[in-house]
A = this chain, B = another copy of it.
Amino acid sequence: MYVSLKDVAARAGVSFQTASKVLNGHSRVASPSTRERIQRAAAELGYVPNAMARGLVRQASVTIGVLADDFSDQAVSQFVLAAQRAAASHGHGALISSVHADIDAELAVRKLLEYRVDGILVAAPSLEDEPQLGDALRGPLPVVSINRIHGGGVPLIGSDHALTGTLAAQHLLDLGHRRIGTVIGPRGRQVVRRRTRGFRDTLRAAGRPLPERRIAEADWTYDGGWAATHRLLDTDPAITAVFVQNDVMAMGALKALHERGLRLPADCSVVGCDDLSFAAYLVPPLTTVRIPFEETGERAATLLLDRIGGKQIPTRNLLPVELVVRESTTSP
């Protein structure tokens, strides 16, 4: 069905090994005329090299594996897309594998190993520190991850979470807010701890410690953000500003605040986090801390390819975050 090197060689009247060399650009191997003959034969027959055969002998599939938990999540999909493009621009394919309730990490990783991917990119925040995933990933294969991997030794890439919290806090303090609440993600997570710490430390340094009652935990979802915001204002109605640890929950928060009849941002300011594409189109447009997902994906792929190429890469890679001021924040 596919035309092979042998077919091309036959048409050009050379051995298939010679055709291989010419088609791979080894220059000092054939006369210009033979070279031209081979190229032409390949083009005429529509020769497409067989990556599996090549991978077999070269002992490298020229493919990376991408392990994600939920890449219908916009943050993850932006990351994956950018990573795929970066990989492609270096000639590498991207094989995706997803982990979710039904399918355990071990199986997903094994699938990737069967295809002999040259390295794995992990974007599975929900599997942070999961021993099973850590075990599956242990081994000689290069891995770069966006979330902590149990057992360590895996280079991380991400953004400066503490700074994220700091930027949000500083912005609200600068505006003159004094009673500030926050809706955080699941407490166990690194991201959450770091963002919260940056946020809390900044408030404390300004003489405005963050009491526990002004912290509401949620699960990153619209619904969770919505409910948490209601809880927050139920326990402390005097709050004039809220930092929500991702944009999706911030959207829920906005809805909750609307429901309470508050005028936004006059009665309550909201700072989100992520800067997803919809943030600018919320009502009011959301002030948020931008997390560079695309840059992260691109960088992650580049780092992974570097490691595959044998280079040493840093074990922690932080990309800068940035406050994007829109209209959901104002002075109290």
A49 CB contacts on chain B under 8 angstroms: 114
A72 touches B61 (CB 8 A): no
A111 CB-CB contact with B under 8 Å: yes
A251 touches B281 (CB 8 A): yes
Interface size on A, residues (CB 8 A): 53
Copies in the complex: 2
A205 CB-CB contact with B under 8 Å: no
Q: Given contacts A52-B61, A72-B74, is CB(A93)–CB(B116) below 8 Å?
A: no
B88 touches A111 (CB 8 A): yes
A42-90 with Cβ < 8 A to chain B: 48-53, 55-56, 59, 61, 63, 66, 70-72, 74, 77-78, 80-81, 84-85, 88
A77 touches B72 (CB 8 A): yes
B103 touches A98 (CB 8 A): no
A53 touches B56 (CB 8 A): yes
Complex CA–CA separation, A277 to B248 (angstroms): 10
A258 CB-CB contact with B under 8 Å: yes
Q: Given contacts A114-B49, A114-B51, A278-B251, is CB(A84)–CB(B72) below 8 Å?
A: no
Complex CA–CA separation, A278 to B283 (angstroms): 13
A255 CB-CB contact with B under 8 Å: yes
A103 CB contacts on chain B under 8 angstroms: 85, 88
A283 CB contacts on chain B under 8 angstroms: 254-255, 258, 283
A16 CB-CB contact with B under 8 Å: no
A53 CB contacts on chain B under 8 angstroms: 52, 56
Complex CA–CA separation, A110 to B278 (angstroms): 34
Per-residue contact bits, chain A 229-256, to B (CB 8 Å; 1 contact, 0 not): 0000000000000000000100110110
The listed residue with most B CB atoms (<10 A of its CB), out of A59, A88, A115, is A115
Per-residue contact bits, chain A 214-232, to B (CB 8 Å; 1 contact, 0 not): 0000000010001000000
A52 touches B48 (CB 8 A): no
Min Cβ gap A69→B in Å is 10
Complex CA–CA separation, A116 to B93 (angstroms): 12
B281 touches A252 (CB 8 A): yes
A111 CB contacts on chain B under 8 angstroms: 88, 93
A110 touches B48 (CB 8 A): yes
A84 touches B110 (CB 8 A): no
A80 CB contacts on chain B under 8 angstroms: 71, 96
A1 touches B140 (CB 8 A): yes
B281 touches A222 (CB 8 A): yes
Complex CA–CA separation, A8 to B75 (angstroms): 42
Between A and B, 6 residue pairs with Cβ closer than 8 Å are A1-B59, A52-B55, A81-B98, A88-B98, A93-B111, A255-B283
Closest 10 CB pairs of A and B: A77-B77, A52-B52, A222-B281, A51-B114, A72-B78, A52-B55, A51-B115, A72-B81, A48-B113, A72-B77
